Amino acid sequence: MIERRKHPRVSATVDGRWLGASGGATCHVENISLGGCFVRTSAPSIEGMGVIRFILGGKTSLTVAGRVVHAERGRGFGVQFRDMSQDVRVELERHLGELRAALVA
């Protein structure tokens, strides 16, 4: 399989919530990178644009707009982050570093 991601991913799982045009659902956010993530949820497949809100470090809530780029029925969907502000990007980079460090420890 060819790796298409431009940013290295962190194989960690954090709690989250997906909010899209068809409603919202609690989820687990996995394989997070600066470019996107995988949203694991048992909710029906969701398409289009939405907002993912996830908890990093057990306390910081981060909200990022994204677009569903692929779905795996009954498992979840891949999200590509869109229109990320510089402040959100800096915060996400910081937390990704903390998640990487925690995985190594």
pLDDT in tens, 12-42: 888 888 887 777 788 899 999 999 999 998 7
pLDDT value of position 54 = 81
Q: Does residue 1 belong to any structural domain of this protein?
A: no
In terms of Cβ atoms closer than 10 Å to its own Cβ (0-12, 13-18, 19+), residue 1 is exposed
Answer whether residue 3 is part of any domain: no
Note down the domain range covering 25: 10-104
Going through the chain in order, the beta strands assigned E by DSSP cover 10-20, 23-32, 36-40, 49-56, 60-72, 76-81
Q: How many domains does the chain have?
A: 1
Q: How far apart are CA 45 and CA 88, in angstroms?
A: 26
In a domain, 90, yes or no: yes
The predicted-structure confidence for 52-87, as pLDDT tens digits, reads as follows 888 766 677 888 988 888 888 888 889 999 989 999
- Flag whether 17 is in a domain: yes
Q: What is the CATH number of the domain that holds 92?
A: 2.40.10.220
The pTM assigned to this predicted structure is 0.84
